[in-house]
Every structure is written in C-alpha cells, then in structure tokens.
Chain A
Amino acid sequence: MTEQTATFLYGVVPADVEPTSDARGIGDPPAQVTMVIHRDVGALISAVSLDRPLGRPEELRGYQQLLDGTAAVAPVLPVRFGTVLTDENAVTELLAEYHDDFRAALDELDGRMQFIVRGRYDQQTLLTEVLDENPEVRELRDEARRLPDEVTVPLRTRLGEIVNQAVEAKRNADTEALADLLRPIADQLLVRPATRETEAANIAVLVEAERIEELEKAVQRITEDWTGRIDLRILGPLAPYDFVAPLQPSAEV
C-alpha cells in the first residue's frame, strides 16, 4: 500500500513572506515548509502523511514555532491545528476564492502581535485570604475537624463549594483588574477560560509592535504589586491564535 499524503495548512501570509529552507513543520521527520501563492497572498504548507493521527507533542510545538516565528516578521493568519487539504491545488483554490477576506484580515493584523498574560495564585496566600475573609469557611472547617471524616462529606462539600466561589470571585476581580490595565495598551483583548483551579488570570491581547515595551512595563508593574500573591507570566509574541475569525462560506458558491 502506498503512503497517503495530503497538504497540511499552517497559516495564510502575504505573498512576499518566504520560508527559509530550514523551516520545518509537523511530521516525522519534520517536513519542509513551503509556500503556495495566489496574487498577493500565500499559504504556509507542508506534505503530511494520512497514515497516522496528528497531534504528537513535537507536532504541536512545530506548528506553534513556525507560526510564532512567522508572526515575529510578518502578519499571519494561523489556521486551526489539523487543517488538511487534498493537495496544493486545493490550497491555491482556497486562496483564490477567499483572497479578499484573507487580504483584509492580514492588513488589519499588520504590525500587531498576540501576547498571553497569565497569572497563577500562590495557593497558601490564596487560601489564607479566603479563610480570613470568610468567617463561615473557618467555622465549617473547625466543625469538620471535630467530627469523624465519614460523617463530614456533606460538610466538606459545602466548605469546598464556598471556597471555590470565593476563589472564582477573586479570579474574576483580579482578571478584571489586569484587563483594565491592559485594555488601553491592547488593540483587542480576550479573557480566556481558566485552565487551573489556582489560575488568577488568563488574558490574550493583540498589540501593536511599537507598544510591546509599554505592555511589558505594565505587566512588570502589576507583577510587583502582586508579588507573593500572584505569579504573572507573559507569553509571546505569538501568532494571533485568539484573534482570527472563522472563515465564512462564500455566498456565490
């Protein structure tokens, strides 16, 4: 049986972007990334085998590194991981049919990059705050301690539920405080869902290249305010994963 191959689509870029010969994407060994071009837009692609599922860690990394590396030098519309077309001709047809949508989106993203600002609570500080601010939590905890474990499941569930609500309220407040700080600097801002119980904030921003320093300084300032309470990190520059709209089926087809 011959190997089935197709074309993996990473992202859409202006036609004057040029992948270097060492640009590698997904695959084992990682496939060379090339471009197909239609007029002034192009697509970053590589051949992909259909013989096994996609999504191994090194493939996810390869995909992200290629797109982030591209975003550092040119506007790029990252295409959702796992988008595969039959062949290069199909990619060219896609570029032709949606040329105007791609062009408009690329123009809008020109000179802008995505960053993700994430904060994580120090667990001990977080829970101490909750305990100090909620007398009911302390009472329930003390009561649960007095009784044998097997009879305190409802009590402990109630206790944990109140703690969880308090943590969610803190997360909302801290996320809002961080968003207020970032909003004047960002072109666009998106609050991402929490991925950890101790997450304090997870915010994606799209910023102009000239304002990256401003962003870093703002994050630095609030990092100092939150020292010991929230550990804040900034990821990027990234391709604008959170700021590309789904492609709408064209009306005339």
Chain B
Amino acid sequence: MTSAVQPSPLGSGDSSALVDVVDTILDKGMVIDAQVSVSVIGIQLVNIDARVVIASVDTYLRFAEAVNRLDLSEKQGAGVPEIVDGVGKQTMISKAGEILGDLANRER
C-alpha cells in the first residue's frame, strides 16, 4: 500500500482558526529531546499565548460583573457582554534552547 500524503482539506475548515490550531498542537505530539537523540537542536520558538484558564481575582471580578449585568439586561433586553476569553498565560512553547547547546551558536 502506498499512501499519498497531501495537505489536509479539512484543515481549511473549522480547524484553521489559529486559536484552534494552537490549542490542538501546542505542547502536544511526541517528545523527542536530547536524552533521546544528541542530534536534537535547541531552536528558538516564537512566544505563543497558551490559553489556560487559571482562576484569579480578575476572573472572579469579571464573573461578578457579568452576573451583575445579566439581570439588568433581562430588564432592559440588552445583550450581555462577553466575558473576556481565557486568562492568557504567556508561555514559551518550549525552552528548546536548553535542551542542548544551540547548534547555530556553536557553528558561528
């Protein structure tokens, strides 16, 4: 059997929203690190906003505000403003540079 690999047509649908892409692949997949192969290069990755919900006072005050507006909007028939999505925790995808000496630097 030979399977021809093509870019996914499905990727162009729902899953192409960047937030879905990040949520699907970030920190997922098989880990191959320097312990596994000394040929793994530490490469710098762009900072990506990993969306993880961590409840904090901010979260509580947003919920309180949303509940407060909820009843008012019932009376006034207005829409409820969205709670700000996610708390937004800045993380590096990976501190890959720490895995093993950076090849680019070594060879420079």
Compute the total of residue contacts between A and B using a CB distance below 8 Å: 267
Shortest distance between the CB of A68 and any CB in chain B (Å): 4
Query: Contacting B3 at CB < 8 Å: which of A16, A156, A158, A235?
Result: A16
Given contacts A60-B21, A83-B40, A127-B66, contact A69 B31 (CB under 8 A): no
Given contacts A18-B4, A195-B86, contact A156 B26 (CB under 8 A): no
Q: Which of A154-179 contact B (CB under 8 A)?
A: 156-161, 163-164, 167-168
Which residues of B are found within 8 Å of A74, using beta-carbon distances? Answer: 3, 5
Given contacts A131-B71, A144-B64, A247-B32, contact A64 B24 (CB under 8 A): yes
A84 close to B41 (CB less than 8 A): yes
Given contacts A94-B37, A123-B66, A124-B80, contact A64 B28 (CB under 8 A): no
Query: Contacting A18 at CB < 8 Å: which of B2, B12, B80?
Result: B2
A54 close to B46 (CB less than 8 A): yes
* Residues of B within 8 A of A (CB-CB), count: 74
Does A90 make an interface contact (CB < 8 A)? yes
Q: Please, how many angstroms separate the alpha-carbon atoms of A160 and B70 in the complex?
A: 13
Among A181-189, A216-224, A236-244, which stretch is in contact with chain B? A236-244
The residue in A18, A51, A127, A249 that gathers the most chain B C-beta atoms within 10 A of its C-beta is A127
Which residues of A are found within 8 Å of B51, using beta-carbon distances? Answer: 195-196
Which residues of B are found within 8 Å of A209, using beta-carbon distances? Answer: none
The residue in A69, A98, A158, A249 that gathers the most chain B C-beta atoms within 10 A of its C-beta is A69
Overall SS of chain A's interface: mixed
Query: Contacting A73 at CB < 8 Å: which of B4, B39, B44?
Result: B4
A93 close to B37 (CB less than 8 A): yes
Query: Contacting A90 at CB < 8 Å: which of B3, B39, B104?
Result: B39
Which residues of B are found within 8 Å of A50, using beta-carbon distances? Answer: 41, 43, 103-104
Which residues of B are found within 8 Å of A17, using beta-carbon distances? Answer: 2-3, 5
A233 close to B14 (CB less than 8 A): yes
Given contacts A85-B41, A141-B67, A163-B63, contact A4 B21 (CB under 8 A): no
A68 close to B70 (CB less than 8 A): no
Which residues of A are found within 8 Å of B37, using beta-carbon distances? Answer: 85, 90, 93-94, 97
**A 193-212 to B, binary, CB cutoff 8 A, 1 in contact else 0:** 11111110000000000000
B60 close to A157 (CB less than 8 A): yes
Q: Which of A124-143 contact B (CB under 8 A)?
A: 124, 127-128, 130-131, 137, 141
Does A227 make an interface contact (CB < 8 A)? no
Given contacts A16-B2, A50-B103, A137-B67, contact A247 B30 (CB under 8 A): yes
Q: Please, how many angstroms separate the alpha-carbon atoms of A1 and B104 in the complex?
A: 12
Residues of B near any A CB (own CB < 8 A) = 1-12, 14-16, 18, 20-33, 35-37, 39-41, 43-48, 51-53, 55, 57, 59-68, 70-71, 73, 79-80, 82-83, 85-87, 93-94, 96, 103-104, 107-108
15 contacts between A and B (CB under 8 A): A16-B2, A20-B6, A68-B10, A69-B5, A79-B32, A83-B32, A93-B37, A123-B66, A159-B60, A159-B64, A160-B60, A160-B64, A163-B63, A167-B63, A239-B29
* CB-based closest 3 A-B pairs: A160-B60, A90-B39, A55-B46
